[in-house]
Structure 1
């Protein structure tokens, strides 16, 4: 099936749909005037007869909005329904064909804004539907002349079988533009992206590419690669140079970045005010679950200028889930650490790795010798409480702050060399938080790039500074000096930023 673009111009919309029900040819008129005819009238074709109740015929539904060159917005509605659903209908109606009638209703400000009714049929000759892993996938595109919340509801009903209609619902929000901000479209998760051809469905075509949506946002064993597409508008509102970075990462339910899915940043050249962004993420090794897909635009220094997120679902039954502890509140003791005790062995190991700046070699060896989940959780709790006490803080509060800084450091300082929190700047940020002041000195004819971080006070010592330099020219900033007692100190650090002068060390000796 192929759908044409519909335009809502505040006038009467008329749709005439012809289909067959129980051998009788019928014509349904979905006729309404926006704001005057209620949703009830739009469901007349879905009377109590000819319905399907015993089994679900709910479609997967998704949507997105984009800006057009004509200053209008475009709403796109995507739906899919598996061939197996048609196979079940065939079994129940004992006929050679199976059909589903769709009724789409879009409301805005509690008034009907657009509607459409259509049907999709499959015959028994459509190749073993019951064994098919395929789905019917299609889309509709509308023009919207102003921002707002658009509630999209898709009613589905199997033909020739009694019951009640099923439905799916999604909300598409077009935000009010902010004159000083970069605007991001919704993101489309796709099962395939390629150059558009004459055979491409026009409604799947964007900027010369065919983007076939995955309305279920479900990936995994049979779809190990996530294809994605989004657009960014008014880039000059934040970007000053001719280059920027596309930002995409996957986070777990705790807000931590999932590693092994691909780079978070990708450098692009600014070609105009609008950017079309496409890419992939590999999720073949992720266990089943719900994740967040974070996307946006950053400057060349990887400062996030605009970002959004969307839920994505992974089904990988062959990948084992994180081991559960099965511990009770009696095991936890301190209720403030309950989420720590809910973690399995793998998650506890990851958390301990992130505590590298807090533990010494004997403590590392002790943890390495632990095997029981509760023993590991108890030991981590002990370290958190002990470390927090040195700063007159509660253990669980310090743990939250520390892990939050880890996440922020990954955003701010990640490079092609290592995760952001593992870099020199990431270490300082994780231990002491954001500095009071940052002075950035770019590359010049005499000096290499360097930064001076100033903290008003650390451990009672006032006016603390850290100096980081980019000796390689690849944004790999390394600490070369600090005034904090116990940190690397090089009083003659100015000599190290002069071009052509190398330091006497290659790594920060205070990095564990």
Structure 2
């Protein structure tokens, strides 16, 4: 009945065009939307969930027993690429009454447990009342072994609703939650909150820090940060579920990336998962886009920086970059991309965007200048040293206690910050004897902690 080798409709592009002119493209609306997410399985396999939603008003309806009904045929095809053998193939017909609300579009989920490998998936739908009305989508999907030695993340599933439930007979039930997928990934006026579901794996490892950090970042299509939230994840369970929300009711229409990053601040190990979503808020004006034009970038200092200058500028900015931003920088290939990245990086941190001066950036570079004057050591600029970094990130300490060299100890300093986390300290030691003080210990969460630091400054 179906040709599974047909071309893939560009669905998401169509949705954005639809915002511009509903009437122009009304006749080209697809019969369905499709999305998927991958989750951990066992030692040899993973799980893929394929979400589908039929647009009931895209079908030609007929009247049966005084009710409007749509009738269609579905074809599902799954092939193991390594063997070119079908793994799953099924075709069947369906009939459904037409609901009054588009919110009642027919939504479902297909679950497959697949051995690690690469697969070809195809999904086809035919309107049985219009034989030439066929819609097909296909994609390749990899199921990989997440391993057991490092923590990891599943894909992100976005949803129209997530709530606690004990109804394990529901199509959308998993891990004590009812998760109703938003297959179109479109949010906005009718769906002002993005619900998302993600699974975290391999958390409780011996000899690892007590906590990991889970950071959620939302960026727009200009790679500008819209919102950020982080929380600490205890490592007492092997795997946990994160089900949460993002309010997008005040965001302008456009494309956004929702990123979840799980990382260990000491080892710099990181796992990331990103989901593209679409927002349609016709009454929200993009004031940021109106304020910052291409001319704004071209007149900035970043537009004319050389490769060497841009690399140093990023190295200085990296002290306050998130793990997500570090990952984004690593993916930059060209000098122009890096220039735009740094322009956006500092624009996102402009504490007073209504003024001509970026006060946050100006204060940051004042701290760099001070670090260069006060903490340069051993042919290194002050901003490159441990004391310089701490001064740049946290500012001037509340108190500095300096301890010169003694018969049994090397020189060291203790910096106290009374206004951070109820009071924290940083201990620096001149281990080499050349005036290059290294960070030995800190009580600041996320910094190096070594309660045995006194043994490192002993001379005997």
Would you say same fold, with TM above 0.5?
A: yes
SS at match of 1:318: coil
Deviation of 1:194 (Å)? 1.0
Deviation for aligned residue 1:158: 0.4
Q: 1:409 aligns with which of 320, 336, 361?
A: 320
After superposition, give the CA deviation of every residue in 1:459-500 in whole Å (9 maximum; x if it has no partner).
9x9978416389xxxxx933339xxxxxx9997994643999
Residue 468 of structure 1: aligned partner: 390
User: Which residue does 1:115 correspond to in 2?
Assistant: 89
Aligned-residue offset at 1:220: 1.1
1:258 aligns with 2:258: no
Query: What CA distance in whole angstroms lies between the structure 2 residues aligned with 1:502 and 1:188?
Result: 39
Match of 1:174 among 137, 140, 143: 143
Distance in 2, Cα, partners of 1:243 & 1:58: 46
Structure 1 residue 39 displacement after superposition: 5.9
Tell me which residue corresponds to 1:134: 104
- Alpha carbons of structure 1 residues 465 and 300: separation in structure 2 relative to 1, 3 Å: closer
Aligned match for 1:223, one of 191, 216, 241: 191
Distance 1:405 1:300 in 2: 18
Partner of 1:468: helix, strand, or coil?
helix
CA 1:39–1:316 in 2, change beyond 3 Å: closer, same or farther?
closer
Q: C-alpha separation between the residues in 1 aligned to 2:301 and 2:201?
A: 44
1:10 match: none
2:252 matched to which residue of 1?
287
Shift of 1:180: 4.1
TM-score by length of 1: 0.57
Q: For the Cα contact (< 8 Å) 2:146–2:152, is it kept in 1?
A: yes
- Deviations 1:196-234 (Å, cap 9, x if unpaired)? 233x65442211111111111111111111111111222
Deviations 1:156-204 (A, max 9, x none): 1001223152112344322243554322211111111112233x65442
Would the aligned equivalents of 1:65 and 1:75 in 2 still touch at CA under 8 Å?
A: yes
**Secondary structure at 2:380 match in 1:** strand
Which of 99, 110, 113 is the equivalent residue of 2:71?
Answer: 99
Instruction: Identify if the C-alpha distance between structure 1 residues 179 and 421 changes in structure 2 by more than 3 Å, giving closer, same or farther.
Output: farther
The 1:154–1:464 alpha-carbon spacing in structure 2 relative to 1, beyond 3 Å, is: closer
Per the TM alignment, residue 280 of structure 1 is displaced from its structure 2 partner at its CA by 0.8
Deviations 1:402-439 (A, max 9, x none): 5797587241699xxxx989899997599969x9xxxx
SS in 2 for 1:479: coil
Alignment of 1:13-92 (within 5 A): 56-68=29-41, 72-86=45-59, 88-90=60-62
Deviation at 1:97, TM superposition (A): 2.3
Cα separation, partners in 2 of 1:407 and 1:85, compared to 1, 3 Å: farther
For 1:161-240, list aligned pairs within 5 A.
161-178=130-147, 180-198=149-167, 201-236=169-204, 240=208
Cα 1:498–1:121 change in 2 (3 A) is closer
Q: Deviations over 1:52-72 (max 9, x none)?
A: xx7544311111121235763
Specify the alignment match of 1:458 in structure 2. 381
Q: What secondary structure sits across from 1:258 in the alignment?
A: strand
Q: d(CA) in 1 for partners of 2:396 and 2:92?
A: 64
What is the match of residue 326 of structure 1?
A: none
Q: Residues 429 and 122 (structure 1 numbering): CA distance in 2 closer, same or farther, change over 3 Å?
A: farther
- Is the 1:455–1:462 contact (alpha carbons within 8 Å) kept by the matching residues of 2? no
Task: Select the residue among 347, 350, 365 that pairs with 2:292.
Answer: 347
Summarize the Cα distance change of 1:466–1:406 in structure 2 as closer, same or farther, 3 Å threshold: closer
Aligned counterpart, 2:339: none
Q: CA RMSD in A?
A: 4.8
| Maintained 8 Å contact 1:74/1:142 | yes
The offset of 1:145, in angstroms, is 2.4
CA distance in 2, matches of 1:201, 1:427: 57
Deviation at 1:117, TM superposition (A): 2.3
Aligned residues: 356
Equivalent pair of 2:156/2:196 in contact (CA under 8 Å): yes
* 8 Å Cα contact 2:195-2:244 kept in structure 1: yes
Q: Does 1:278 align with 2:278?
A: no
Q: CA deviation at 1:155?
A: 0.3
Which residue is 1:497 aligned to? 416
* Alpha-carbon distance change, 453 to 270 in structure 1, aligned in 2, over 3 angstroms: farther
Alpha-carbon distance between aligned partners in 1 of 2:217 and 2:195, rounded to the nearest angstrom: 13
Task: For 1:468 and 1:399, locate their aligned partners in 2 and report how far apart those are by CA, in whole Å.
Answer: 22
TM-score computed with the length of structure 2 as normaliser: 0.63
